[in-house]
Amino acid sequence: MAARLKSQEEYATLIDKYDTFLFDCDGVLWNGDAVVDGVIDVLRMLREKNKSVIFVTNNASKSRVDYKGKFDKMGVQATEEEIFGSAYASAVYISTVLRLPPTSKVYVIGMPGLEHELDTEGIAHIGGSDPADNTLEPFKLSTFVKDEKVSVVLCGLDLHINYTKYCKAFQYLRAGATFLATNVDSTYPVDGGLLPGSGALTYVLAKAMGVEPLSIGKPGKTMMDCIKAKHSFDPARTLMVGDRLDTDILFGKNGGVSTLLVMTGVTTEAVLESTTIVPDYVIDSLGDLRVLI
Ligand SMILES: O=C(O)[C@H](O)[C@H](O)COP(=O)(O)O
Ligand SMILES: [Mg+2]
């Protein structure tokens, strides 16, 4: 049974128990561009207590550099090395696990942030923000010329998704391309509510192909491997803070760290009541810890 923390004393005991804090972003720090009340002060407090702070997001629409810019704008202290996104993890997976031949290419459904992370790993890619793919013109299969170098289809959150992108990705998958997803979150929490998430977008191809993609993001192992490659931490004194049970909390459990669920994102009280993925702790909002300042 999760411990529901409410008192200042319980918050203080929690903070003292851990040295490293892994923070999910969407639904924990912010919803879209709306920062959760009190979060900036809490992150500052943790830094002042010499806690390690690492950000771990499944949102593949931004690169680490993009997120660094978002943190800077918010006035939150963060270095690029403390930021891990599923775009970065997917690029690392392709370069270190798939180890594509140098001439191979990736067909991308996703935003420039994902393309940028592929660039940093030296992975050739097409699709994505290419104007030829960002069209509402009807797709004509009879005139479509496949790029024979494409051996991977990588699908991530794409706020400009369209039928042409799905048709091209589908042709590459039918030709045998490896099917990867940056993450399979069902919904995307933004200011005012929920939007279809990356998992919902990827489902269109999974349904058409009759196969599931390999998902790289939380709760998968690759994200934790990427973090461990850059940071050493004691799992016994590490806390994963997230808003989604089947990604963040499961990611923490898979990684052998403690887990704290916040109720400012996608998880409702009703879902929490019936879940089989039980966090160690639950608080209403990360911002509630500001009473410790
Ligand atoms: O990809 C998605 O559907 C969303 O970006 C999702 O919200 C993941 O963001 P996170 O909560 O992991 O920061
Ligand atoms: Mg989240």
Complex ipTM value:
0.96
Q: State the DSSP string of 99-155.
A: ---TT-EEEEES-HHHHHHHHHTT-EEEETT-TTTS--SPP-GGG----TTEEEEEE
Structural domain 101-215, CATH architecture: 3-Layer(aba) Sandwich (3.40)
CB of 197 within 6 A of ligand 1: the answer is yes
Q: Which ligand is closest in space to the CA of residue 201?
A: 1
The top-level CATH class assigned to 3-58+219-292 is: alpha beta
Q: Where are the domains of the chain?
A: 3-58+219-292, 101-215
Distance 85 CA to ligand 2 centre (A): 12
Distance 175 CA to ligand 2 centre (A): 34
Residues 100 and 151: beta-carbon distance below 8 Å: yes
CB of 246 within 6 A of ligand 1: the answer is no
Q: Would the annotation count 228 as a binding residue? A: no
User: pLDDT tens string for the chain (293 positions)?
Assistant: 899 999 999 999 999 999 999 999 999 999 999 999 999 999 999 999 999 999 999 999 999 999 999 999 988 999 999 999 999 999 999 999 999 988 999 999 999 999 999 999 999 999 999 999 999 999 999 999 999 999 999 999 999 999 999 999 999 999 999 999 999 999 999 999 999 999 999 999 999 999 999 999 999 999 999 999 999 999 999 999 999 999 999 999 999 999 999 999 999 999 999 999 999 999 999 999 999 99
- Positions annotated as catalytic residues are 24, 26
Q: Would the annotation count 218 as a binding residue? A: yes
Ligand 1 atom nearest the C-alpha of 200 is: 3
